[in-house]
Amino acid sequence: MRSVSIVGIGQIPVQKQNPASLRQMGATAVLQAMDDAGIDKVDALFAGNMIGDELQGQKHLATLVADEAGLTGIEALQVRAATATGAAALRMAYLAVASEEADLAIAIGVEKMSSGPATPALAKALDAEKEVAVGANLISKNAELMQLYIERYHMPADGLVNFAVNAHNNALANENALFRKAVTPEEVSNSRIIYPPIRLLDCSPVCDGAAAVVLAPTSEARAFTSTPVHILASSVATDHFRIADRKDPLMLAGGRLSALRAARRANINRNDVSFFEVHDAFSIMACLLLESTGYARRGEGWRLAAEQRIWPEGDIPIATMGGLKARGHPIGATALYQTCEIVLQLTEKAGANQIKNPKIGLLQSVGGAASTVLTHIFGN
C-alpha cells in the first residue's frame, strides 16, 4: 500500500452556537485546509457528521459540503462511527489515498449540536432496542463505568479531577477552543452531579465545530508543504456492542486491540509516543483508554492524572490543546480537530501549547460506549 501524509489542516473555532449553517461551516474548514496545502481541488472528500440527519434534516452531507466548497464533480461520501465519526472520515480518506483511488483526499468533520436536543440524538450511539429503550444514554453509560471503577479500585472521590484541570489549562492558549478558562480541582470536585457519580466538569460540552485535513501520498507530500505529517497507522476495532455483554467492562477491548494493530502497522511501542490525543468525552473514558493502551496498569489510570503525568511536560501528555473537555467535542468534527492539533504539535507550530520535541502522536476515538474504537498514529 501507498504511504499517506497530511499536507494541510483547517479548523474553525469551536463555539456554543455557530451562526453559520452546517454546509457553510463544513465548506469553511475544507477551504481552509486546501488553502493550507496550496491546492484548489481534491479528488475525494469524506465527511463525518453524527446528528445532522436529525438536527439539520440532512442525510446527504458530503456532497452538499463539496458543492458549497466549489468542488462539484469530485467523489464525496459520508461516514459514521457514532461518536468516533470524525476518525472514520480520516480513515476513509486514508484508504482512498493508500489504495491509489485518490491522489488528494480531504477528511472533514462537521457538527452543529446547537440546533436541537443533542442528548437523545447522541444516545443513538447505543443499542436502540436493548439500551436506549430502557432509558440509557451516553452519560448514564459512562456513569456506569465510573461507578464500577470506583467500586473495584477504591479510587478516591477526586481521583479524576485533574483530567479536566489539565484540559482546561491546555485550552487557554488554543484560539479554537470553546473554553479558554482554567478550572481548579475544587471547582471540578464541587461541580454539580449530572448523573451519579459523573459531575458537570467530568463531561465534554455540546457545541458546534468543523475541521478538515488534506491527505496526499507521502511520496508527493513535500510538493504541498515543507512540513508534512506522516500517517504511520490507521486502525479500527470493535468490541461487544453493549457494555453488558463484555467480560470485563473496564477493559476497553476496542481501544486495546485497535492500538495494538496500529502499533504493529507503525512498528512502534507505547514508549515511542510523545503525546496522546485521547477521547476524553468523559474523564472516566480518558482514564480507561490510558489503561487499555497500557500507559497505566489496570486501576491506575487515574493516578497518571492525579500525579500530573498527563501534563504537557509529563510522561504522557494528553489533550495538549484542550481535549474534548475544553476545546470542545463537536462529535463528527472532533477527531479532525485532534488531527489538526497533532499536526501542529508534530510540526512545532503549537505555540504556547508546544510540547517538547515531539516525534510521534497517538489519536484514539471512541464510538458509543467504546463499541468501536479507532486508533491513528502520526509521525513527523
Instruction: Determine the longest span between alpha carbons in the chain, in angstroms.
Output: 57
State the Cα–Cα distance between residues 342 and 354, nearest whole angstrom: 10
CA distances for 320 relative to 159, 167, 338, angstroms: 20, 7, 9
> Quick one: 120 or 156, whose CB is closer to a copy of itself?
120
Task: Tally Cβ neighbours within 10 Å of residue 192.
Answer: 7
- Nearest approach in angstroms of CB 37 to a copy of itself is 20
> Quick one: 63 or 227, whose CB is closer to a copy of itself?
63
> Quick one: 23 or 327, whose CB is closer to a copy of itself?
23
Residue written as grid cell 472528500: 45
- Nearest approach in angstroms of CB 315 to a copy of itself is 29
> Quick one: 30 or 257, whose CB is closer to a copy of itself?
257
- Nearest approach in angstroms of CB 80 to a copy of itself is 4
Positions in the binding site for a copy of itself (CB under 8 A): 1-2, 21, 44, 50-51, 53-54, 56-60, 62-64, 66-68, 71-82, 88, 91-92, 95-96, 98-101, 121, 124-129, 132, 234-241, 245, 253-254, 257, 367-368, 371-372
Q: What is the DSSP letter of 200?
A: G
Q: Contact 215/5 with Cβ under 8 angstroms?
A: yes
Backbone phi and psi for residue 11, each to the nearest 5 degrees, phi listed first:
-150, 140
**Paired sense of beta strands 372-379 and 229-238, if any:** antiparallel
- Cis check for the bond before 228: say yes or no (omega within 30 of 0): no
> Quick one: 128 or 223, whose CB is closer to a copy of itself?
128
